Chain A
């Protein structure tokens, strides 16, 4: 079945440690996104990528980094510079179609906590 796979489902980070969240999609979508969700709040955009080898900062990119070496994959690294990383992280993808804001399709999410 086509879809978006995020792993791991739960992740724990120690102080000063970088951790990487995986996101893989087999929907043949060009665009991919990372969002952060805090309790009782909506989603906030961290980074997005419209094509391979290109990505842009979203609204809360500080303390995060991404890469887009393959169309299917868009990993997110939470660096030690992110002082409050505890949150639910959601990856999404969409068709990249000019003049038509296509819906984004989401993975199951990764819940990150600090040890």
Chain B
């Protein structure tokens, strides 16, 4: 079975705090891709990052960083010095190799309070 679990339904932080969003996935495939998307209140999903299963290097993009650990089947997302504009629902997704399907987690709603 292929599945993505985002156990944190909702997180609330105060501006400038760091916050980590957890993502745990299940797959029997050895080759797969992982994604993070942001869904602001306007509704569209905004692509943040794509990572393939052979690349376990952590990635940093500005205040965003991602920690991919195959040993624990996790692909966690950290926002450093959070801002009010980071308030959104964040989705982690899994895509089997050469498949056009995205298997989404249920999302984590992040609220950053001023």
Interface, chain A (partner B; CB < 8 A): 31, 33, 40-45, 48, 50, 58, 88, 90, 92, 94, 96, 98-99, 101-109, 111
CA distance A41 to B89 in the complex (A): 11
- Specify which of A42, A101, A109 is in contact with B44 (CB 8 Å cutoff): A109
Interface presence of B102 (CB below 8 A): yes
- Chain B residue at minimal CB-CB distance from A31: B100
User: Bound complex: CA of A105 vs CA of B97, how far in Å?
Assistant: 18
Cβ–Cβ < 8 Å partners of A50 in chain B: 100
Cross-chain contact B44 with A108 (CB below 8 angstroms): yes
Chain B neighbourhood of A99, CB < 8 A:
97-98
Question: How far is B5's CA from A47's CA once the two chains are assembled, in angstroms?
Answer: 23
A111 to chain B, nearest CB (A): 8
Chain A residues near B33 (CB-CB < 8 A): 101
Let me know if B100 and A42 touch, CB within 8 A. Answer: no
- Contacts A41-B106, A101-B33 given; indicate if A48 touches B100 (C-beta within 8 A): yes
**Contacts A90-B43, A106-B44 known; 19 new A-B pairs at CB < 8 A:** A31-B100, A40-B106, A42-B91, A42-B104, A43-B91, A43-B104, A45-B101, A98-B98, A99-B97, A101-B50, A101-B97, A102-B50, A103-B47, A104-B47, A106-B37, A106-B46, A108-B42, A108-B43, A108-B44
Shortest distance in angstroms between A31's beta carbon and chain B's nearest beta carbon?
6
